[in-house]
A = this chain, B = another copy of it.
């Protein structure tokens, strides 16, 4: 145990623990923390605090916090919410670096509890708090249990290199118990509860430095500080430690339950997909994968490609696993000639089809030498980047056949090896995992594990280079000053976009129908005429737009527009906007939005009503890199429309990328002042001709 320095380090590996409100009865919740500390042979000092009784669980007990002989590294506060704040205040006064508050009755029960939680936080002052409404933390590396979780009743709590941070104590217990059942150990488990102070991000930051931790698994209901999480995740990425997250709230029912469970804040769940993806964090969608995927990653092997060999003694399961891998984008190609020859030589059997994958061993093939040879041949093969071995019901009678064969070959290869257990055999799964061979009961877990390995395999995503801050151009400052009620009119919005590098269609803002007519003649050709006003969001719905006008038709059309808008909306437009008719090109939507939880984002979408109904969009949270922008364009399902579809000239895709980056630069430079912005449609012209904003809106914070 290294000398703890930071409060979190002391919290995780304390030299002494005070237990406030301790009971001598291990059957009671208040008796469990000391019981678990003692059961797992905690080597530090334990100070029970309880006004009743001199001795608790064989330890000298203190009547109150003030009587403690020193400031403990950590205090577990077991008293109820009505007395917790006082205990926390006294601990802070004593100089205790961190306290864990287990009680519930705080933000998760509503406004009254939220107030109580604020008081608790105030009482803690500079002392760090874990909880409230938390089950504590478990340091398996050092065998220090600071928790009342019933899961600690288990005799078998192996240490391992996977850390878990969970916003739910119950889920922490569930994971601990499930991992134990499959022979998997953890380094640290932390339940952060309501996160009055310390939150998931704090522990990710700490675990990134923890030598005992190789993979970080998170159960999240909502992130309180996306910015700090981002920094912590980037630190973990630099340390080469993958993060796997299961986040609830994908459905409305789940989101509501999450909010009421720990008082978590609701954000748009789909934005979390983007958030995690941009950070290189693997989001799993099945709860079981929150264990299975870290197990696979903890093996520490890298995937160099997507070609998977499957070795099986039970054909159906081979098909099942091949399908699960295929659904995640992996291939199961047949062996190359040299490998096939080697497989045939090893098997020496009339009916062995050595030119296939899954490689199907007959029951007769389950001899240790042969099996070891087959594993070796497939791992050595140039045809494959990973191996999945399937254990059939024969494994029940030969429990070490697979593990022995794999172990014998692991040193000679750096490829990942996974095992799928076809029969119900949790004990064999545990046996394999204990030997460091990731083993799963679900075929889908093999696919999910490979997908996560593949995501980790390229160099971990470098910290995104902060784009240079673009200062606000003078023209923009001038335009923004004219904004009334936060909104700019269409012409002003496009002036701003143009100042950041996104050209508009050719247009002239005018005051009167007569001026509009003159402007139309100057533009030449047919034009679009629009009412100009910062107070009208949807011009066409109030008769504020006419298209395909000859210049001579413009004055009359202008009169009609002014009358129609006044009649429909009661608003007198400030003037009329005359625009060239933009023909051809592909229509996109480019938007800037602010997620209440995760912050500013850029959205790119295919234009037109069909695409809108089908929601063909790509989104990234800021900061957006050039790579992100490139990927966004290609992420559109209708990207082919931009790329020279059916003989049409390819569109100016680079200009779209630049437009995305311009929008991002605008968002950075305007900062909090920018509330919402959208260009719809953004016309993409043929290659070399750029893009043109044909309509736009821009809202500022008031």
Contact = CB atoms under 8 A, between A and B. Distances in A.
Interface of A: 29, 104-105, 108-110, 149-151, 153, 166-174, 177-182, 219, 221, 248-258, 260-262, 286-288, 310, 314-320, 322-327, 330-332, 351, 353, 356-358, 360, 362-363, 392-394, 396-397, 422-426, 442-444, 606, 608-611, 613-614, 616, 637-638, 640-641, 645-646
Residue among A29, A178, A316 having the largest count of chain B Cβ atoms under 10 Å: A316
B170 A314 contact: yes
A181 B429 CA distance: 14
B288 A319 contact: no
Q: How many copies does the complex hold?
A: 2
Given A315-B168, A319-B261, A392 B173 contact: yes
Given A170-B317, A316-B261, A323 B249 contact: yes
Nearest to A151: B393
B261 A318 contact: yes
Contact of A393 (B149, B316, B423, B645): B149
Contact of A442 (B151, B286, B323): B286
The 9 closest A-B pairs by CB, nearest first: A254-B323, A168-B316, A251-B326, A253-B326, A170-B314, A181-B424, A171-B316, A257-B322, A177-B423
A253 B262 CA distance: 43
Contacts of A332: 253, 256-257
B319 A221 contact: yes
Contacts of A151: 393, 423
B442 A150 contact: no
A286 B446 CA distance: 12
A316 B170 contact: yes
Contacts of A323: 248-251, 253-255, 257-258
Contacts of A353: 109-110, 260
Contacts of A257: 310, 318-319, 322-323, 332, 357-358
A484 B126 CA distance: 89
Contacts of A363: 29
Nearest to A647: B541
Contacts of A331: 253
A483 to B, nearest CB: 29
Contacts of A110: 353
Q: Which of A150, A168, A310, A315 has the most CB of B within 10 A?
A: A315
Contact of A327 (B105, B254, B319, B358): B254
Contacts of A315: 108, 168-170, 261-262
A316 B257 CA distance: 9
14 contacts: A170-B316, A171-B320, A172-B316, A173-B314, A219-B316, A254-B320, A254-B322, A254-B323, A257-B332, A257-B357, A257-B358, A261-B315, A286-B444, A426-B426
Given A610-B614, A611-B614, 18 more contacts: A151-B393, A153-B393, A170-B314, A170-B316, A173-B314, A173-B422, A174-B314, A174-B423, A177-B393, A178-B423, A250-B323, A250-B327, A253-B322, A254-B320, A257-B323, A286-B444, A606-B610, A614-B616
Contacts of A167: 316
Among A181, A314, A613, the most chain B Cβ lie within 10 Å of the Cβ of A613
A317 B174 contact: yes
A351 B314 CA distance: 54
A251 B426 contact: no
B640 A396 contact: no
A150 B168 CA distance: 42
Contacts of A426: 181, 426
Contacts of A443: 287
A213 B397 CA distance: 32
Contacts of A318: 257, 261
A342 B673 CA distance: 50
Contacts of A249: 323
A542 to B, nearest CB: 12
Contacts of A394: 150
A303 to B, nearest CB: 16
A651 to B, nearest CB: 14
Contacts of A221: 319
A288 B173 contact: no
B422 A174 contact: yes
Contacts of A177: 393, 423-425
Contacts of A181: 424, 426
Contacts of A261: 315-316, 318-319, 360
A571 B610 CA distance: 37
Nearest to A262: B315
A319 B100 CA distance: 23
Nearest to A422: B174
A319 B258 contact: yes
A325 B255 CA distance: 12
A171 B319 CA distance: 10
A608 B610 CA distance: 9
A254 B319 contact: yes
A84 to B, nearest CB: 13
A444 B253 contact: no
A351 B81 CA distance: 10
Contacts of A317: 168, 170-171, 174
A9 to B, nearest CB: 26
Nearest to A447: B251
